[in-house]
Amino acid sequence: MPFLQLSGLTKRFGDVVAVEDFSLAVEKGEFVSLLGPSGCGKTTTLQMIAGFEQPTSGHIMLNGRHLEEVPARNRGLGIVFQTYALFPHMTVEENVAFGLEMRGIDKKERARKVAGALELVQLAHLAKRYPRAMSGGQRQRVALARALVIEPELLLLDEPLSNLDAKLREEMQLELRRIQQEAGVTTLLVTHDQNEAMALSDRVAVMHHGRLMQQETPFHVYENPKSSFISTFLGKTNSLTATLKTTNDEGSALVCNGMELAGPPAHLRPGPITVSLRPERIEIVEAGEAVVSGPVIERIFLGDQWLFRIETPIGPLLVVRRNRGQREPEHGETVHLAWTPHHLRLLPKEDEAA
Partner 1 sequence: MTRRSRSRPWILSAPALLLFLVLLLVPLAMTFILSFHSFSFYGGITPTFSLENYIEVLSDGYFYEIFGRTFAIALATTLICAAIGLPQAYFLSRMHPFWRSVMLLVVLGPLLISVVVRTLGWAILLGNKGVINDALRDLGLITSPIRMMYTSGGIVLALVHVMVPFMILAIWAALQRTDPATESAAESLGARPWTIFRRIVLPQAMPGILSGSLIVFSLSASAFATPAILGGRRVKVVSTTVYDEFLNTLNWPLGAAIAMLLLVSVLAIMVGWNRLVERRFAGVFE
Partner 2 sequence: MRHNGLFAKAFSVLFAVFMLAPLVVVIGVSFTPEGFLEFPPSGLSLRWFRAILDNPDFIEAAWVSLQLGVASATVSSIFAVPAALAIGRGRFPGRDALQAFFLSPLTVPTVVLGIAFLRFLSFLNANGTFVGLMLCHAIIIMPFILRLVLASVTGLDRSQEQAAVSLGASDWTVFRRVTLPAIMPGVIGGWVLAFITSFDELTVTVFIVSPTTTTLPVRLFSHITQTTDPLVASISTVAILFTVGLMFLVDRIYGLDRLLIGEGAR
Which of these ranges, 36-44, 47-55, 156-164, 331-339, lies near partner 1 under the rule CB under 8 A?
Answer: 47-55
CB 9, min distance to partner 1, A: 15
160 binds partner 1 (CB under 8 A): no
99 binds partner 2 (CB under 8 A): yes
- CA of residue 85 relative to chain centroid, distance: 23
CB 45, min distance to partner 1, A: 16
Which of these ranges, 57-65, 79-87, 239-247, 270-278, lies near partner 2 under the rule CB under 8 A?
Answer: 79-87
Number of residues in contact with Mg ion, rule: CB under 5 A? 1
Report the residue from 51, 152, 218, 225 that binds partner 1 according to the rule CB under 8 A: 51
Instruction: Look at residue 54 and give the partner it binds from partner 1, partner 2, ligand ADP, none, a contact being a CB closer than 5 to 8 Å depending on partner kind.
Output: partner 1
CB 103, min distance to partner 2, A: 6
Q: Which is nearer to partner 2, 41 or 99 (CB)?
A: 99
- 162 to 98, 121, 167, 243: CA distances (angstroms): 25, 19, 12, 40
Report the residue number whose CB is nearest to Mg ion. Answer: 43
42 binds ligand ADP (CB under 6 A): yes
Number of residues in contact with partner 1, rule: CB under 8 A? 5
CB 15, min distance to partner 1, A: 18
75 binds partner 2 (CB under 8 A): yes
Is residue 244 within 8 A of residue 252, CB to CB? The reply is yes
71 binds partner 1 (CB under 8 A): yes
CB 300, min distance to partner 1, A: 32
8 binds ligand ADP (CB under 6 A): no
What residues from 44 to 103 belong to the interface with ligand ADP (CB under 6 A)?
Answer: 44
Report the residue from 55, 78, 279, 348 that binds partner 2 according to the rule CB under 8 A: 78
Round to whole Å and give the CA distance between 335 and 78: 54
DSSP collapsed to 3 states, the chain: CCCEEEEEEEEEECCEEEEEEEEEEECCCCEEEEECCCCCCHHHHHHHHHCCCCCCEEEEEECCEECCCCCHHHCCCEEECCCCCCCCCCCHHHHHHHHHHHCCCCHHHHHHHHHHHHHHCCCHHHCCCCHHHCCHHHHHHHHHHHHHCCCCCEEEEECCCCCCCHHHHHHHHHHHHHHHHHHCCEEEEEECCHHHHHHHCCEEEEEECCEEEEEECHHHHHHCCCCHHHHHHCCCCEEEEEEEEEECCCCEEEEECCEEEEECCCCCCCEEEEEEECHHHCEEECHHHCCEEEEEEEEEECCCEEEEEEEECCEEEEEEEECCCCCCCCCCCEEEEECCHHHCEEEECCCCCC
Is residue 115 within 8 A of residue 125, CB to CB? The reply is no
Report the residue from 42, 110, 113, 146 that binds partner 2 according to the rule CB under 8 A: 146
CB 5, min distance to partner 1, A: 21
Is residue 254 within 8 A of residue 263, CB to CB? The reply is yes
Which of these ranges, 50-58, 157-165, 172-180, 322-330, lies near partner 1 under the rule CB under 8 A?
Answer: 50-58
CB 251, min distance to partner 1, A: 55
43 binds Mg ion (CB under 5 A): yes
Binding interface with partner 1 (CB under 8 A)? 51-52, 54, 71-72
Binding interface with partner 2 (CB under 8 A)? 50-52, 72-79, 81-83, 85-89, 98-99, 102-103, 146-147, 150
